Chain A
């Protein structure tokens, strides 16, 4: 599979008043053409910040290290005007709340055509025509009418489609979707996930899906990366991680997720709370919540290493992890 993005040793730090917070550390991954990579984790795991950093959209006190190679181009550390040559054109991002990502005072068609005028040098009429075509392609009924609407006149699902249409206008190689369906109803979510599948299958777009919902991951992703406390703790194919998780946190997440087809008497959740990035525990960040932690986990941090069959995990424990053992 052709690689479209290769992230190497990336880190994200935020400068606070008189300290620093490491939101992401030592991140490494590749994204293949037409592939869907799910990035899974709870709030504060660093999953969103990592991709905002790649897009050059960090808050002003944020700093990024390492490399994010798109072909020969390193997106990290690039000046904003230079980055604009690639953003929106080769790599695009959509967010959870479409209302706050659209300009409320501009018509949908104005916001959509801007991308084409800027990146492809289209004139207004041609750009508007392409914008309307794209609205139709992402499943918006009466696209001409919707193109003339303002964002507040559209429903949540429709706004998210507008965002997706905008992201796709220049046919980017990479689409990063940050919790794209979290604010939507299940029926609209199902339509949206179906649209993502069409994109990756028919257009060969590579998709990064940032989410906390393992149900969404199971439906669309090829590979997944689980993050905890700013680091990747397990990586591998979706089936491998769902049916044979090797990291106790991945196992815990699976047991915390209610399953519509199986009604268990009790869920078997991970105990305790996710850590604060400012006060990460010594050793493995997950050790205070881990049922399998032993002495070494308290003093030494497990590196992300090869776990066979193209999988990687950051955990010293090698024994079995049976259901119900995650306390």
Chain B
């Protein structure tokens, strides 16, 4: 019987800053990409992470995988803090934690054959396998992602975007990971191909019992694949709830605004819609607003929103929201239409 704990991954008080040049001879500026990040991922679930560009969603994915070192906080993988592990120790966990990138062609080495690319993680992570065993695993994985065996000796440039993304998925799958971070895996693909890859990911998840972190700016795609959804704004969690809760009863004004802005492929519904157009643009993370960082664009903001930073509060069913006014503002009858 599988005795892996239900909580695969726990993130505690994660913070990540970047130091950027303030100009010649000027003091470097500090950009806070993530702060106060706390959440858990359960075995077998898909957690969607959404937000606008610059909200920290990709940085979060990379901090989980230790591709970026967080400044503070813990990333507990099966109870063990990955941030404290020496590189050599971390490598042992790499087989369990994999990633798929947005741009399928750019993330594949153009001078390696498909077979070499897919087998590459095995060289470092499963050095005990011999050449024949490696090849057998590559072929098995290629079949699982819908690549034909005769493609094994071809080069990335011979493939379309969708096929290239299948290669990237195979490379992530070959180490038999428990968790895969999918960072905008379908954003660069045509619609018909995007749907094929989304279906493939959900099949693979069921077949191999995977847990997925699905990072995307596309809320329609995230709804389609996710069990729970985490909404980020300027490096902070503003809301975390199940997919249905987020889309039917969003509590945070930012989540509400995001939902009404998502294009809806239905002309009649689109005409009925009351788009909650956010004012202005996302503020600079170098100098974020005081109190609630969303208040500058929020139509429900009150003077007190500038004074206190809203805590991430646990409300019904264990869902989280960071807004001091969530009780007062209620929810629209149809959140997606905004009416």
Contacts and interface: CB of A to CB of B under 8 A. Distances in A.
B193 interface: yes
Interface in B69-120: none
B199 A259 contact: no
Contacts of B257: 187
A242 B270 CA distance: 12
Most chain B CB neighbours (cut-off 10 Å) among A186, A239, A263: A186
Contacts of B277: 187, 190-191, 194
Interface string B265-290: 11111100101011011100000000
B265 A214 contact: yes
Nearest to A222: B267
Contacts of A216: 263
B162 A186 contact: no
Interface string A179-219: 00000011111110110000000000000000011111111
A242 B198 contact: no
Given A187-B258, A187-B277, A266 B264 contact: no
B275 A194 contact: yes
Contact of A258 (B195, B258, B259, B260): B195
Contacts, number: 140
Interface residues of B, number: 47
B191 interface: yes
Interface string B214-251: 00011111011000000000000000000100010000
Contact of B264 (A189, A215, A264, A268): A215
A193 B273 CA distance: 13
B281 A188 contact: yes
A219 B263 contact: yes
Contact of A261 (B162, B192, B199, B336): B336
A252 B336 contact: no
B196 interface: yes
Contact of A219 (B198, B219, B223, B264): B264
Interface residues of A, number: 48
A189 B260 CA distance: 11
A259 B52 contact: no
B17 interface: no
B261 interface: yes
B267 A258 contact: no
A219 B277 CA distance: 14
A158 interface: yes
Nearest to A42: B190
Nearest to B276: A190
Given A256-B191, A257-B191, A238 B267 contact: yes
Given A218-B263, A263-B243, A269 B192 contact: yes
A157 B281 contact: yes
A83 to B, nearest CB: 32
Contacts of B264: 215, 218-219, 259-261
A290 to B, nearest CB: 12
Nearest to B267: A218
Contacts of A258: 195, 198, 218, 220-221, 223-224
A273 B191 contact: no
A254 interface: yes
A185 B263 contact: no
A327 interface: no
A273 B160 contact: yes
B38 interface: no
Contacts of B269: 218, 261
A267 B199 contact: yes
Nearest to A158: B281
A211 B197 CA distance: 21
Nearest to A255: B195
B308 interface: no
B204 interface: no
Contact of B219 (A141, A186, A194, A271): A186
Interface in A215-271: 215-219, 238-239, 242-243, 252-261, 263-264, 266-271
Contacts of A156: 53
Nearest to A276: B160
A43 interface: yes
B267 A213 contact: no
B66 interface: no
B191 A42 contact: yes
Given A186-B217, A188-B281, A256-B191, A242 B275 contact: no
B267 A239 contact: yes
12 contacts: A187-B277, A187-B278, A190-B261, A213-B191, A213-B263, A219-B270, A258-B195, A260-B262, A261-B264, A261-B266, A261-B337, A267-B224
Interface of A: 42-43, 141, 155-158, 185-191, 193-194, 212-219, 238-239, 242-243, 252-261, 263-264, 266-271, 273-274
